[in-house]
Amino acid sequence: MSDKAKVLGADQKRKRLQGQLIIVGVIIVICVICHFCTGGKLLSPVNLKVLSIQWTYPLLIGLGMMFIFSGGMVDLSIGAQAILAGNIGAIFVEDFGLGYPGLILGCIGGVILCEMVSASCSVFFGIPSWVAGLGSALVFEAIATIICSARSGATGSAVVYLKNCRVLGTFPWIILIAAIVFAVAYFLFNRSKLGLNLQAVGSAPEVSEAMGINRRKTIIIAALVGAVIVGIGTTTQLSYTGRYTAMSGMGSLAGIFKSLAAILTGQSFGKYFSNPVGVLVGSFIVTVLFNILTLFGVPSGTYQEMTLGAVVILCGILASWKIKGVVK
């Protein structure tokens, strides 16, 4: 490499590293300040354990969504997929006695099946992905509600409770699973042929096709990988909470709100972090924020979510500070 090219490359990397250190530093400082403001609760060992467990769900769902969204699809049916697959997994365990294989098969297999239906509608039939996603969400929500209602006749409850096979939602297994999934997702996205092709397809579809990349195949395989990750997230969350409540009328969107916020926050730091690390940082910010608000006694629901929205916007503003674009 020529000296000039080396200097330019090193300069860019230095700026990136500076940005990364500043972001991580600011997060740590805020956490320390909040720790004292909450009377030493935030960073207490007990709360840190709770935090780390709560961090896993937005992280895993966010990573799955990252693979699905990066190819250009906006699939909002993921919350509904998780609800349907989670209930199938719980039924496999509780009603059919299939144990862990049933739990994993129901959750991961269910999400894969649902995501393939939703993605195929968009990729092969040319339906805009957000339309296909919303349509699919209504269908998946309805199926989950029908299954749970039908089961309530026999059990007396419209909610399928997972009483057995809950180890995957306990500490430290849930953290270990999330860490492994993050590592795999990181390398798949940044260092594998699929991940690099996916990024090319998402940001420059015409160029990528001209370079011989099969756009449809890449999107579908990425959606499959994303579905597996969402499925793992569904499994751990079901094991942690013990239930997925079926809902209708697009209520499932609320289930992916934190993950969406994590992706948006992560994307706003896109100049400094690769997408998987962005999701990791974003999901941490979201989880910590909710935790802090709860410790401060802010009512859950409207006020907490209003604050989250404001923080997402603030992160976007701060991350794009001093970035200049051309006025067209």
Partner 1 sequence: MADQIMLKVENVCKSFGPTKASNNVNLVLKKGTVLGLAGENGSGKSTLASMICGMQRKDSGKFYKDGKEFDPKNPGDAKKHGVAMVVQELGVVGPLTGAINMFLGEMEKYKKGPLVDLKAMQRDAYKQFDQWNLPHVPLDIPAGELQIEQRKLMELARALNSNPDFLVLDEISQALSQDNRDVLYKFIKKFKEGGRTILMITHDLEEMVEICDEIAVLRDGEVVETRASSEYSMEELKRLMIGREVSGDYYRDDQEESYQKEVILEVKDLNVPGKCEHISFELHKGEILGICGLSDAGIHELGSAMFGLEEGRTGSLVVKSSNTELKKPGDMIRTRGAYLSKDRDAHGLMLDDSVGDNLIVPSVRELSGALAFLSPIKTRRLAQEASEAFEVKASGLGHIIRRLSGGNKQKVNLSRWLIQDLDYIILDCPTRGVDIGVKAYIYSVLKEAKAKGLGIIMISDELAEAMGMSDRILVMKEHRQEAILSRTCDFTEEKIMEAML
CB of 202: closest distance to partner 1 in angstroms? Answer: 9
Q: Which is nearer to partner 1, 114 or 188 (CB)?
A: 188
CB of 197: closest distance to partner 1 in angstroms? Answer: 7
Strands (E), the chain: none
Q: Which is nearer to partner 1, 206 or 301 (CB)?
A: 206
CB of 238: closest distance to partner 1 in angstroms? Answer: 28
Bond before 172 cis per omega within 30 degrees:
yes
* 56 Cβ contact list (under 8 Å, min separation 6): 174, 175, 177, 178, 233, 236, 237, 240
Euclidean distance between CA atoms 58 and 56, whole angstroms: 6
CB of 3: closest distance to partner 1 in angstroms? Answer: 9
Q: Which is nearer to partner 1, 88 or 263 (CB)?
A: 263
Q: What angle do CA 71, 80, 253 make, to 5 degrees?
A: 80
CB of 203: closest distance to partner 1 in angstroms? Answer: 5
**Residue 64 contacts residue 226 (beta carbons within 8 Å):** yes
Q: Can you say whether the dihedral through the CA atoms of 89, 77, 244, 240 is positive or negative?
A: positive
Q: Which two tokens stand for residue 318?
A: 């701060």
Q: Which is nearer to partner 1, 23 or 51 (CB)?
A: 23
**Residue 245 contacts residue 159 (beta carbons within 8 Å):** yes
Q: Which is nearer to partner 1, 15 or 163 (CB)?
A: 15
- Binding residues (CB under 8 A) for partner 1: these are 1-2, 4-6, 8-9, 11-13, 187-188, 191-193, 196-197, 199-200, 203-204, 206-213, 322-328
Q: Exposed, middle or buried: residue 220 (CB in 10 Å: 0-12, 13-18, 19+)?
A: buried
